[in-house]
A and B are shown apart, each in its own frame.
Chain A
């Protein structure tokens, strides 16, 4: 996998950061500061898997977390740019509205769940239910995603440079799913679709934003067969 170098990934070059050490102050103090920021750039030390680090940002600030974060890191992010030099727990960038979240390591379950906008990049792999119920967020995973990813995904793009586990795109609506490696059993109503020029173009854009240099032609596209959109009265007999 190509490295997520700052320049290639089009990352911002933040101003000299204010350092917040979670050994000295808790997550509440950190979040109170980033909710009403007195600086434009922060560096967070000793996260040690704490929950809700940098959740609820609504200003265009940079937050660099140096270490592993716990659940809901950068949840509900709006306009902020969060980088995690480590792995993250369940629900990273859940319900993100805009901005970006970049994780250098792996992500646990439900990465980018219900996200409405912005870009989530996971440099390593993401576990189960990545992009569950995504509603407009873009998610790029450098490695693989676990089973049941993009479950009921409504809008946005999920790009997986490795493999996808079983049940990909179960009950998917209009989200577009791109996978470079193998896919386990597809979820209900999820089908492979042709990769046309416009899809190659958007893939190239997303990969560049993530700092990855894969050839878009290596990916396959999956989406909704739209067979579950309407209640089918003929099926009532089977219940």
Chain B
């Protein structure tokens, strides 16, 4: 099964409410995926401060922030401190299976430092705007672990997983965030993912898991890196991938939904002057402010729906 929710705010006045709205929505899809939950939030300046980038890390050792700071800024006395603010230049915030590191350096440099400091750790998200949380467990427990209700921001998504294609562990949890500020969540299963994975590996793409959805995320990231917009990337995915899917993809400025041509997997979109929301089922949307006035519809098979900030 699996459940998806996503919320893209149009009205800045709702930004402080993002976490509460996402948490209410998550309740509506928890029965669809009780084994793991991933969340991505965009624009929370406490979790991903301006001028910094955040990376989300699985299997992070306890001293990862100090080790990464030493690699990035050296071991000279005081160098680990952000000179302007008097706080550590690298912060680590554990939230269950995920640890979020922030630092005033590029996401790629930060991810490379994590990899060098802790070769067993796995970076599962990075960007200057997004923060990703992944973990195995029940949705209501993990929403508390991630502090979801306290999130502020302009966009977010979550996925509740009922595993079919790979093991139940934090690595197999969605979203797959394999490019800067990019996230992809999936309800369904790709049937030709192994073939596409081999092709991408030949092109030099590396993978973190055995999961079919990761192949979709790597494919979309490769298309975006080639200059495609979200719509084109998802149309190319439709031409290449076989199987069942409802996908929600978010980027630094975009929010996109697509279903396969047979559209067995559910999706409901609600559009309101203050927000755009997508969920696997209506009941996840029922508590949104003004839902009574929203335009509610099911996305057509094979059609890409996109919204931009």
Q: Which residues of A contact B (CB under 8 A)?
A: 48-51, 68, 70-71, 87, 89-90, 106, 108-109, 127-128, 146-147
Contacts and interface: CB of A to CB of B under 8 A. Distances in A.
B296 interface: yes
B116 to A, nearest CB: 48
Contacts of A70: 281-283
A23 B223 CA distance: 46
A48 B25 CA distance: 12
Contacts of A146: 298, 300
B286 interface: yes
A49 B282 contact: yes
Contacts of B28: 49
Nearest to B28: A49
13 contacts: A48-B283, A48-B287, A49-B283, A51-B283, A70-B281, A70-B283, A71-B281, A87-B282, A89-B281, A127-B298, A128-B263, A128-B298, A147-B300
B302 to A, nearest CB: 10
Interface in B263-309: 263, 266, 268, 281-287, 296-298, 300-301
A49 B281 contact: yes
B282 A109 contact: no
Nearest to B291: A68
B298 A50 contact: no
A227 to B, nearest CB: 23
A70 B3 CA distance: 15
A147 B301 contact: yes
A87 B301 contact: no
Interface string B225-268: 00000000000000000000000000000000000000100101
A146 B303 CA distance: 13
Contacts of B282: 49, 68, 70, 87, 89, 108
- A-B CB proximity, top 5 nearest: A49-B283, A49-B282, A48-B286, A127-B298, A49-B286
